[in-house]
Structure 1
Amino acid sequence: MSRIGYARVSTTDQDLDTQIARLKAEGCSIIRSEKVSGASRDGRAELATIIDFLRPDDELVVTRLDRLGRDTRDVLNLIHECEQRGAFVTVLDPHVSTRGEMGHIVLTVLGMVAQMERRFIKERQREGIEQAKRDGVYKGGKQRLNRTKLVALHNEGHSPTQIAKLVGCSRMQVYRILNEHASEW
């Protein structure tokens, strides 16, 4: 039986150290961590690795349930996958484990709370953006492509397909940008 810890934060400027220290203090012999959103399981390679290597009587340990995910269905599916492998899931804060039936009920409710919290976060973000737009201070997200360069490449005779390959984006993005700047060529 192994206690395997999983630590996750959403952004690169957040710190994993507190979670890792807590998991070590709880006796986790293996700890995997990653900096990726908990909105879905996509792109969470470390979590997938843990699930793939769980053996009967192993225990997946997280500091809080929202470290596993913020979508109730994802969390419950993850717990189900662990149980299919004969393993258990333990959340440290509040201390809940799938070793007993009551733990399943509590984890289901906590999963629903995590999902609701994510919806509240998105709603507050949307409200903040709308207010910033009304105040005239919202400039939109960071531009990932140099629009001037795309137009210049087009003016030099490159096709949208060639431009997309050169700058590493989709043709649809090239077409959108060229349509925005149609008067410049």
Structure 2
Amino acid sequence: MTVFGYARVSTTDQNLEIQEAALRAAGCEVVRSEKRSGTTTTGRTELQTILEFLRSGDVLMVTRIDRLARSIGDLQDIVRAVRAKGASLKATEQPIDTSTAAGKAFLDMLGVFAEFETNLRRERQLEGIAKAKASGVYKGRKPSIDVEQVRAMKAQGFGPAAIAKALKIGRASVYRALEGGSQT
């Protein structure tokens, strides 16, 4: 039986040391960590590596369930993958142990709350953007393509592919700029 630890933070400026230390203190023989969003499992190579290495009797340990997933769907997929290997999931800071009925129930409840928290954060962000737009403060992202430069190159006889290559932008962006719309 191997105890695998998994640590995750969302941004590169966040620190993994506390999670990694807690996992080692809890007896994890292997600790994998990554700096990726928990809202999806896409691109989380360290998590995928652990899931591939799990064998019957192994344990996947996290400090808190929100380190594993912030979506109930992703959490359930991960739990199914762990169970399919004959392994179990545990958390150091929460009473989660998928080898027990109570642990499974608590896991599902925490998963719902993690997703709820993510949705609340998204709603607050959208409300803030709407308020900023209403007051004329929020203008959106600054244009990344100089439409006048695209048009000038076209006037000089450059084709869309040459313009795209010279400006390191997509051809579709060149066409949009030439059609008269500003590109963001």
Question: TM-score, normalising length from structure 2?
Answer: 0.86
For residues 169 and 57 of structure 2, what CA distance do their matches in structure 1 show?
Answer: 46
In structure 2, C-alpha distance between the alignment counterparts of 1:33 and 1:151, rounded to whole Å:
47
Match of 1:114 in 2: 114
Q: Name the SS of the counterpart of 2:37 in structure 1.
A: coil
The answer to whether 1:11 aligns with 2:11 is yes
Q: Paired residue for 2:102?
A: 102
Question: What is the CA–CA distance in structure 1 between the aligned matches of 2:101 and 2:166, rounded to whole Å?
Answer: 56
Shift of 1:167: 5.4
Residue aligned with 1:8, SS: strand
CA contact (8 A) 1:151 1:181 kept: no
Q: Show structure 1 runs of 5+ residues with no match.
A: none
Residue deviations 1:60-102 (CA, integer Å, cap 9, x gap): 1111111111110110110110010011111222121101111
Q: Which residue of 1 aligns with 2:31?
A: 31
Cα deviation, residue 18, structure 1: 1.4
Percent of aligned positions that are identical: 43
Cα shift readout 1:83-122 (whole Å, capped 9, x = no counterpart): 1001111122212110111111111111111111111010
In the TM superposition, 1:42-61 aligns within 5 A as: 42-61=42-61
The alignment of Structure 1 onto Structure 2 pairs a total of residues equal to 181
Q: Any idea what SS the aligned residue of 1:32 has?
A: strand
For 1:180, the equivalent position in structure 2 comes to 181
C-alpha distance after superposition, 1:98-150 (max 9, x if no partner): 0111111111111111111111010001011111112222232365x443565
TM norm structure 1: 0.86
Q: CA deviation at 1:12?
A: 1.2
Partner Cα distance (1:81, 1:156) in 2: 58
One-letter identity of the residue aligned with 2:114: A
Could you tell me which amino acid in structure 2 is paired with residue 135 of structure 1? S
- 1:78 is aligned to 78
Matches of 2:105 and 2:141, distance apart in 1: 40
1:3: how far off? 1.0
Name the CA distance, whole Å, in 1 between partners of 2:43 and 2:167.
23
SS of structure 2 residue aligned to 1:34: strand
Structure 2: gaps spanning 5 or more residues: none
**Which stretch of structure 1 is more off in the superposition, 90-99 or 43-52?**
90-99
The 2-side partners of 1:168 and 1:51 are apart by 38
C-alpha separation between the residues in 2 aligned to 1:19 and 1:107? 19
Instruction: Give 1:177 deviation, angstroms.
Output: 3.8
Distance across 2 between alignment mates of 1:81 and 1:151: 53
2 CA distance for matches of 1:18 and 1:153?
53
